[in-house]
Structure 1
Amino acid sequence: MVVRITPLWNQSEAKRLSEKKRVRAIGAGHPYHLKTIEEKLLCILFWYKIYPAFWLLGMLLGFDAGNVCKLIKKMRPFIEKVADPELGLYFKRVVKNIQKGRKRISSFEDLEREFPDIAEIFIDTTEQQRLRPKKQVQKRYYSGKKKRHTIKTQLVVGKTGRILLVSKPYAGKHHDYDIFQRERTAATIPKQSHAYLDRGFQGVKKDFPDLHWFTPNKCNRWKRILTRSEKIFNTKLAKKRIKVEHIISRLKKYAILGSVFRNRITYYRTDFRNIAALTNFRLSFVT
């Protein structure tokens, strides 16, 4: 990661130092407290993992909270580019090639042989608590299920555990299936794929009958008890879907996603994608 991030950092610094509004000559001004790129990278990775307050991180590193905030703001745009620059692009590129006929794939078996990542995909939505927002947007972010203000993000995970797609963040009032429809996720899935979802996506088979969906059987007011075969199917589906639950668990190992999000919502998408890219990097899907 250090090898990849160094030219990006140097390019960013050269652009910053050569801005027209800059009064002082290049080379003037106080140098960074963390002098090497390794130290700067460690700073933001430590912040993502532990998620301390800026004043505490500054106290540990020996400089003030304001400069910690500025450094993390500068490092944020680089993490996804160096950890997994293909996040989202790989899946879209493969699907585009299949849809345009560049790859002759007519069945699930063909897809599994050519692209095992995409043959079986798992879709789920993760939810994180945020600080109580301003009164104007409190209702929008309030989740009736969680009884708190939350942010939701949809994930598409491949058979091998690779994160293929990350949606933009949505306010907590949105239902999982509403996010699925807003993201037009069904349009991005090859017809040969098998997609596994949870109970929050019950309407998907009716709305998109051309695709292969697997959702658990659910009781309702007309059908109070599941049959034995339906229970067995639900158990097998849960064993398949555990893969996406494990990936969400890996994401939440980073305290910035596993605890209450305290920063500006405008940074949430970048931070979430950075953690997803780091997760793919840790799982060796990035070379």
Structure 2
Amino acid sequence: MKYQCIQKLNPRAFKRRFGVRRKTFKSMVKTIKSFQKINKHSNPGAKPIIDIEKQVLVTLEYWREYRTYFHIATSWGVSESTICRIVHRIESELMQSGMFRLPGKKALLQGLSQPEVVVMDVTETPIERPKRKQQEFYSGKKKRHTLKRQLIINQETGEIICTFFGKGRCHDFALFKASGINFHPETQGLYDSGYQGINQYHSNSYTPKKKPKKGNLSILEKDYNRVLAKERIGIEHINCRLKIFKIFGDRYRNRRRRYGLRCNLLASIYNYELSLPEAKFQTPTIT
């Protein structure tokens, strides 16, 4: 009965309910079926309790609402352990299929096809207090334990190019240096004030002007910072769109080793939806 009600949802309601469009959902189901058909001998065992369509919906519901496995299990009439296995299997198979995959940092150095302007930013996801090495995860900015996620996007298309992850104590600039990312010399980079000094690694970079000690910024410098902020606003919108999935918007309760896989997977799904005909990414225009 639950699945029958879901099928009657209009496109906008389906997007609100699961965080993705119905076309994306159908592509995910098709990808899982194709992957399991090719690798049918690698997963022997009894027939699943619920079919592939429902398994994908369960996974989307888990990402979107981030309820506990127990609460989702009672909604679908299965056991808590079954929901856990379904979510992990669907996530792994979607990544292994290659259908949902980011371009990667090599796309930043592909000659004529490299992006003209990239924007890089770091956002933080709160986590539960670790039992060990708590100081490594404590963020002085957020005043709590967090995991950091670095995104690099193509400013023109809004596509997420690559990601990198670190602990809450790691500074944004230190996280960039640890990622080992290199930009093409002709690519312009737009960054926030956390990347002061990046000109030593990429000369074609732009960061906000900092207010001097016991001084003030000039009118020209203030205008420059305002224009740069408008050009960078696109990546803030993307972070907001990813955080509609409560698994990133709320406190992350799962094991940290799977955090990167889920970030890359949801970023790839975002890119896929961006490629759909009705999807549009509008970059801010400076007048």
User: TM class by shorter-chain length?
Assistant: 0.7 to 0.9
Are the structure 2 counterparts of residues 84 and 235 from structure 1 closer, same or farther at C-alpha, using a change threshold of 3 Å? farther
Residue 281 in 1 paired to residue 272 in 2? yes
In the alignment, which residue of structure 2 is the partner of 1:269?
A: 260
Determine if contact 1:126/1:153 at 8 Å carries over to the other structure: yes
Structure 2 distance, partners of 1:282, 1:76, is 17
Determine if contact 1:84/1:280 at 8 Å carries over to the other structure: no
| Paired AA for residue 133 in structure 2 | V
Deviation, 1:282, is 1.7
Deviation, 1:12, is 4.4
Are the structure 2 counterparts of residues 132 and 79 from structure 1 closer, same or farther at C-alpha, using a change threshold of 3 Å? same
Deviation, 1:73, is 1.2
Determine if contact 1:88/1:166 at 8 Å carries over to the other structure: no
Determine if contact 1:141/1:151 at 8 Å carries over to the other structure: yes
In the alignment, which residue of structure 2 is the partner of 1:72?
A: 87
Determine if contact 1:194/1:212 at 8 Å carries over to the other structure: yes
Residue 32 in 1 paired to residue 59 in 2? no
* Corresponding residue SS for 2:121: strand
* Corresponding residue SS for 2:89: helix
Structure 1 distance, partners of 2:262, 2:82, is 19
Determine if contact 1:84/1:281 at 8 Å carries over to the other structure: no
RMSD between aligned residues: 2.0
In the alignment, which residue of structure 2 is the partner of 1:62?
A: 77
| Paired AA for residue 198 in structure 1 | D
Determine if contact 1:123/1:154 at 8 Å carries over to the other structure: yes
Q: 1:126 aligns with which of 117, 123, 128?
A: 123
Structure 2 distance, partners of 1:60, 1:12, is 30
Q: 2:102 aligns with which of 87, 91, 111?
A: 87
Deviation, 1:10, is 3.3
In the alignment, which residue of structure 2 is the partner of 1:164?
A: 161
In the alignment, which residue of structure 1 is the partner of 2:192?
A: 198
* Corresponding residue SS for 1:133: coil
In the alignment, which residue of structure 2 is the partner of 1:219?
A: 211
In the alignment, which residue of structure 2 is the partner of 1:110?
A: none
Larger Rg: 1
Deviation, 1:267, is 0.8
Residue 139 in 1 paired to residue 138 in 2? no
Q: Which segments of 5 or more consecutive residues in structure 1 lack a partner in the other structure?
A: 18-25, 104-113
Determine if contact 1:84/1:278 at 8 Å carries over to the other structure: no
Structure 2 distance, partners of 1:4, 1:190, is 34
| Paired AA for residue 191 in structure 2 | L
Q: Deviations over 1:134-180 (max 9, x none)?
A: 1x22111011111100000111000211000111x211000000001
Written as runs of structure 1 = structure 2, the 5 A alignment for 1:238-253 is: 238-253=229-244
Structure 2 distance, partners of 1:32, 1:84, is 23
Q: Deviations over 1:237-269 (max 9, x none)?
A: 000000111111111111111110010111101
Aligned residues: 249
| Paired AA for residue 30 in structure 2 | V
| Paired AA for residue 274 in structure 2 | L
State the identity %.
28
Structure 2 distance, partners of 1:38, 1:92, is 34
In the alignment, which residue of structure 2 is the partner of 1:10?
A: 37
* TM-score, normalised via structure 2 length: 0.81
Greater shift, 5-14 or 262-271, is seen at: 5-14
Q: Deviations over 1:90-134 (max 9, x none)?
A: x51462x41xxxx5xxxxxxxxxx55xx10100001111001111
In the alignment, which residue of structure 2 is the partner of 1:50?
A: 65
Greater shift, 60-69 or 1-10, is seen at: 1-10
* Corresponding residue SS for 2:133: helix
* TM-score, normalised via structure 1 length: 0.81
Deviation, 1:229, is 0.2
| Paired AA for residue 32 in structure 1 | P
Determine if contact 2:107/2:161 at 8 Å carries over to the other structure: no
Structure 2 distance, partners of 1:139, 1:285, is 43
Structure 1 distance, partners of 2:265, 2:162, is 13
Deviation, 1:50, is 1.0
